[in-house]
Structure formats: structure tokens, C-alpha cells
């Protein structure tokens, strides 16, 4: 990745370098980030494609001409959140509140619990934003991280929940919900995710205490009977059986838990799930999504995908161990009922060869798919995975290795 900075704001280079050095201390591989001088009046990120950013901190502001060109406005007085794909407003006013807002692929994002920035703060925010983008953070995560960085010292990577902004989606309905039933962190353990109730039965017989039934096709003829049977098996074995996606059937048949993706939060009846006293797990793929998920006060938050996986088509890139450790540090500071520390489930490409390094990041639980369903000996695979998980759990539960002590697979 090349980050090209125009000569009229070349002083920004030093600020960006400082952020990259701090990223390196966390364990990120920054060697692939090359800084240079932009041949245009705009900041440019050059990888497979080129993205351009102009800014009202500069003397010159380009009018965006295409999908990969944006204007960042730090001193906008607009109160209209209906921004287009080419604008990012930092510290604008929405419904009487200060907010950052932008649009991406038709989705309107926002951050609240933020302030209007003075020019020195705006320069620092811009440096963090561009450094995070050059490290391949998606835009919504880079903007979230840049805001959090303003709450800590220049020598600190933000990891405390209290330092982060509050994310929201303009398209989402306002929600107020009771907290979902909490889980004992040590109760999650090894967490297989399977696509057939036969696997649920088999794994519970082997002593697995947490399992998820994830049937991908809603038109499957025996969908409801499988869910009914999975719920019954959970009661029989006194296990924690989560139903993926099909929250209406989960409520209807009294499931122990439901797991939902971020996209499901826009359509599922969260109030109905809360009233049904069902445990709720939510997926996340980065800073913005895990902070958004936390607002629903779920029973746990899943972090993924950690390594490349073929079991599900993913819209995001693999997170890697460095990011996983940083997300876990943030989760450790989140409120969880009367306690502190949101339970976490790492998922995506995890098997016996890498489960130890994942647990070392401090996660509460590890979800596996192929490591169990494609194993030559299922019983042996479960025993080995559980043993590898358990031997590290007592040392890491509630804590996290410093990110620089793990290997980043992002590159």
C-alpha cells in the first residue's frame, strides 16, 4: 500500500509515521506501507486501485469525480445526514448532536459521543485515519479508531471502551432493550458450528457443551424439525445450543440461544428475543461492528473471521491475530451486566494448528467448523481441540497477550 501526501501538507507525513510506529509496536507489519509525495493536490492511497481524499484542512479541495474520491469536511456546519458516497463529515450536527457521518455502498454510518475538532485535533485525526486506511482497515473502522485515538496520549493505541465513539446506522430503528442473559465465560469453551442436527447430537454425546446449528438454506424442508430436535438435545444434555438466524423459530420452540449476524440486526425483533429470555450472540468484523453490537447488550460477541475460511462467503478480510488481540482488549473493558468484560468467540479458519495462538489472544471461546466436521476421527479431533483450548484458558481468560507477542497474518 502506498500513501501519497501532497507537498502542500507534507508536515502530515511526520504525524502518519508516528501512528505507523505505534502500530508496529502493537505487532502490525508496516513494511508494506510506503509513504511518498502525491502528484495531485489530494491524498492518495494506491493499492490495486487508487483512492483520493481531499480535505478542508487544505488550501485546495478537489471536487470528487468518482467512486474512489472523497472529501473530508472537518468544518462543515451542515445538519443534513443524507450525505453522498463522496463525502465524510467530521463533527457535523445531526438532530442537535455532534456526529461524524458518511455513506458507503448505500449504507449511512455515523459516530456519536464525539466533539467538534479544533485544527490541531483535526490534523491528528486525519493522520490516524490515513494511517489506519494504509494498514487496510475498512473506512468505518479507520474513522472509529481515529476518533478513539484523540482520547488517549500520542504514545498509546486506544483499547479502552470509554475512549471509543458510539456507532450507529441511519437506516436502523432506534432500539431499547433489556440486557440479554449473561453467560459464564468458562461455560462457552470449544464451540463447534454445524449445519445438521445429526452433528449436534453427535457432538453433545462427546461432551461438547456449546454448539451452534447453522442451516444455510431457509427453504430446507426439515428446517423446523431440525431446530426442534436441536433445542431438545440441548435440554437433554444440559448444553448451550445456539440457533443461527432463525430467531422466530427459536422463540417459538424455546431455544437456549440465538446467534445473529450484523445484517440480521436490521430485521430481527430484538425486543421479542429479549422478552423471550434467550441468550444472544452477535457477529462482528472489526471496531465499528463490535461497538455497534455491544449496544444490544448481547450474551457474547463473535470476532472474525480470523484466518481465511471456505465455509462461508465473507464480505471482510481475515482479521489476523494482532487485530484479534486488540479487539479482545477492548472487549475486556466493556460493561457486561454488573461486571466488566464481554465474552468473546473467535471464529474463522481455526483448527488444531492455530487454536493455541488464538486462545493466547485472550478470547473466551473458539468456534470451529471444518476442524470437527471434516476430521478423520471426530472424537479424537474434539478431544485434541478441547485439550489445546483448556490448557491455555486458565492462563488467558480475562487477560490478553500483548499484540506484539503474536504474529500478524494480515501482512
Last residue of a domain, one of 122, 137, 167: 167
Give the per-residue pLDDT at 260.
Answer: 98
Given this model, what pLDDT does residue 406 score? 44
Residue 339, strand partner residues: 336
What pLDDT is recorded for position 238? 97
Where is the binding site, in residues?
212-216, 244-245, 264, 283, 309-312, 349
In whole angstroms, give the CA distance from residue 255 to residue 247: 9
Give the H or E element holding residue 112: strand 107-112
| Rounded distance between C-alpha atoms, residue 245 and residue 281, angstroms | 10
Q: What is the pLDDT of residue 81?
A: 56
pLDDT tens profile 252-304: 999 999 999 999 998 999 999 999 999 999 999 999 999 999 999 999 999 99
Q: What is the pLDDT of residues 132-177, one digit of tens each?
A: 999 999 999 999 999 999 999 999 999 999 999 999 987 665 556 6
In a domain? residue 122: yes
What is the longest distance spanned by two Cα atoms in the chain?
A: 69
Binding residues for Mg(2+): 245, 264
The rounded distance, in Å, linking the Cα atoms of 383 and 347 is: 19
Instruction: Confirm if 365 and 344 have CB atoms less than 8 A apart.
Output: yes
Neighbours of 265 (CB within 10 A): 20
CB 212 within 8 A of CB 242: yes
Are 58 and 139 in a shared domain?
yes
Q: Please indicate, yes or no, if residue 31 is contained in any of the structural domains.
A: yes
What is the predicted pLDDT for the residue at 229? Answer: 98
Q: For residue 262, what is the domain's CATH number?
A: 3.20.20.70
The count of domains in the chain is 2
152 shares its domain with 48:
yes
Give the C-alpha separation, 328 to 402, whole Å. 11
CA dist 133 to 45, 88, 213, 251, Å?
A: 8, 14, 36, 41
Cell numbers 480475562 correspond to 398
- Asked if residue 214 lies in contact with residue 195, where contact means CB atoms within 8 angstroms, the answer is yes
Q: What is the pLDDT of residues 117-133, one digit of tens each?
A: 999 999 999 999 999 99
Please answer whether residues 201 and 233 qualify as being in contact, where contact means their C-beta atoms are separated by less than 8 angstroms: yes
Task: Tell me, yes or no, whether 159 and 197 share the same domain.
Answer: no
> Is residue 137 in some structural domain?
yes
- Residue 411 covered by a domain: no
- Domain of residue 350 covers 189-397
For residues 241 and 227, give the distance between their C-alpha atoms in angstroms, rounded to a whole number. Answer: 10
Cβ atoms of residues 380 and 399 within 8 Å = no
Say if CB 279 and CB 257 are below 8 A apart: yes
Task: Give the confidence band of 408 by pLDDT, cuts at 50, 70, 90.
Answer: very low
Mean of pLDDT values over 336-363: 96
| Range in 51-65, 147-161, 198-212, 318-332 with the lowest mean pLDDT | 51-65
Segment among 13-22, 103-112, 173-182 with least mean pLDDT: 173-182
Q: 410 in a domain, yes or no?
A: no
Pair 204, 238 in one domain: yes
- What is the total residue count of the chain? 411
**Higher-scoring residue by pLDDT: 403, 368:** 368
- Total-model pTM: 0.93
Does residue 355 lie within any of the structural domains? yes
Residue 317: predicted pLDDT: 84
pLDDT at 396 over 60: no
Residue 261 makes CB contacts below 8 A (sequence gap 6+) with 245, 282, 283
Span 227-260, pLDDT tens digits: 999 999 999 999 999 999 999 999 999 999 999 9
32 within some domain: yes
Choose one of 111, 133, 167: the last residue of a domain: 167
Percent of the chain exceeding pLDDT 90 equals 77
| Cα 166 from Cα 90, distance rounded (Å) | 14
- Residue 379: is its pLDDT beyond 80? yes
| Mean pLDDT (whole number) for 351-380 | 96
Given the DSSP bridges, would you call strands 335-336 and 339-340 parallel, antiparallel or unpaired? antiparallel
- The answer to whether position 272 is within a domain reads yes
Q: Are 220 and 73 found together in one domain? A: no
Q: Give the list of residues 6+ apart from residue 221 with CB closer than 8 angstroms, or none.
A: none
Residues 236 and 159 placed together within one structural domain of the fold: no
In the structure, what pLDDT confidence band is assigned to residue 93 with cuts at 50, 70 and 90? confident
The mean per-residue pLDDT over the stretch 211-226 comes to 95
Q: Are residues 160 and 194 in the same domain?
A: no
Same domain, residue pair 257 and 359: yes
DSSP β-bridge partners for residue 109: 102, 169
Mean pLDDT of the chain: 90
- Mean of the pLDDT values across residues 381-403? 69
How many Cβ atoms sit within 10 Å of the Cβ of residue 257? 25
Query: Residue 262 has what DSSP assignment?
Result: G
Measured CA to CA, the distance from residue 166 to residue 178 in angstroms comes to 18
Do 78 and 71 touch, CB atoms closer than 8 A?
no
393 pLDDT higher than 80 = no
What's the pLDDT score for residue 389? Answer: 83
pLDDT over 50 at 398, yes or no:
no
How far is Cα 234 from Cα 89, in angstroms, rounded to an integer? 48
User: What is the distance between the alpha carbons of residues 190 and 355, in angstroms, rounded to a whole number?
Assistant: 10
Locate 150 and state its grid cell.
Answer: 484523540
Amino acid at each position: 500500500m502506498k500513501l501519497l501526501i501532497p507537498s502542500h501538507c507534507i508536515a502530515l507525513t511526520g504525524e502518519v509515521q508516528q501512528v505507523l510506529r505505534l502500530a508496529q509496536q502493537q505487532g502490525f507489519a508496516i513494511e508494506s506501507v510506503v509513504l511518498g509525495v502525491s502528484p495531485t493536490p489530494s491524498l492518495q492511497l494506491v493499492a490495486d486501485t487508487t483512492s483520493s481524499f481531499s480535505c478542508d484542512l487544505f488550501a485546495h479541495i478537489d471536487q470528487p469525480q468518482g467512486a474512489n474520491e472523497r472529501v473530508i469536511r472537518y468544518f462543515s456546519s451542515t445538519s443534513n445526514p443524507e450525505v453522498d458516497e463522496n463525502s465524510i463529515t467530521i463533527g457535523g450536527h445531526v438532530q442537535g448532536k455532534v456526529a461524524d457521518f458518511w455513506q458507503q455502498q448505500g449504507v449511512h454510518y455515523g459516530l456519536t459521543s464525539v466533539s467538534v475538532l479544533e485544527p490541531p485535533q483535526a490534523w491528528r485525526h486525519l493522520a490516524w485515519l490515513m494511517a489506519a486506511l494504509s494498514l487496510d482497515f475498512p473506512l468505518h473502522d479507520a474513522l472509529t479508531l481515529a476518533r478513539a485515538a484523540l482520547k488517549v496520549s500520542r504514545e498509546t493505541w486506544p483499547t479502552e471502551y470509554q475512549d471509543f465513539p458510539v456507532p450507529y446506522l441511519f437506516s436502523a430503528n432506534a432500539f431499547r432493550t433489556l440486557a440479554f442473559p449473561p453467560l459464564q465465560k468458562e461455560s462457552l469453551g470449544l464451540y463447534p458450528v454445524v449445519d445438521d442436527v445429526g452433528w449436534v447430537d453427535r457432538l453433545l454425546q462427546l461432551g461438547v457443551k456449546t454448539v451452534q446449528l447453522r442451516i444455510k438454506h431457509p427453504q430446507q424442508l426439515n428446517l423446523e424439525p431440525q431446530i426442534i430436535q436441536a433445542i431438545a438435545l440441548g435440554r437433554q444434555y444440559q448444553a448451550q445450543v445456539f440457533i443461527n438466524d432463525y430467531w422466530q423459530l427459536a422463540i417459538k420452540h424455546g431455544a437456549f440461544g440465538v446467534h445473529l449476524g450484523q445484517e440480521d440486526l436490521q430485521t430481527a425483533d430484538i425486543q421479542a428475543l429479549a422478552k423471550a429470555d434467550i441468550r444472544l450472540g452477535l457477529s462482528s468484523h472489526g471496531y465499528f461492528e463490535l461497538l455497534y453490537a455491544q449496544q444490544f447488550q448481547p450474551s457474547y460477541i463473535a470476532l472474525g473471521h480470523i484466518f481465511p475460511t471456505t465455509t462461508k462467503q465473507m464480505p471482510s478480510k481475515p482479521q489476523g491475530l494482532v487485530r484479534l488481540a486488540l479487539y479482545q482488549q477492548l472487549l475486556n473493558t466493556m460493561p457486561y451486566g454488573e461486571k466488566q468484560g464481554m465474552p468473546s468467540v473467535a471464529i474463522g479458519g481455526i483448527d488444531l494448528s492455530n487454536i493455541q495462538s488464538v486462545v493466547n489472544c485472550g478470547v473466551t471461546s473458539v468456534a470451529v467448523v471444518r476442524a470437527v466436521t471434516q476430521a478423520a476421527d471426530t472424537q479424537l479431533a474434539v478431544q485434541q481441540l478441547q485439550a489445546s483450548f483448556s490448557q491455555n484458558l486458565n492462563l488467558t481468560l480475562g487477560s490478553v497477550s500483548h499484540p506484539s507477542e503474536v504474529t500478524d497474518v494480515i501482512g
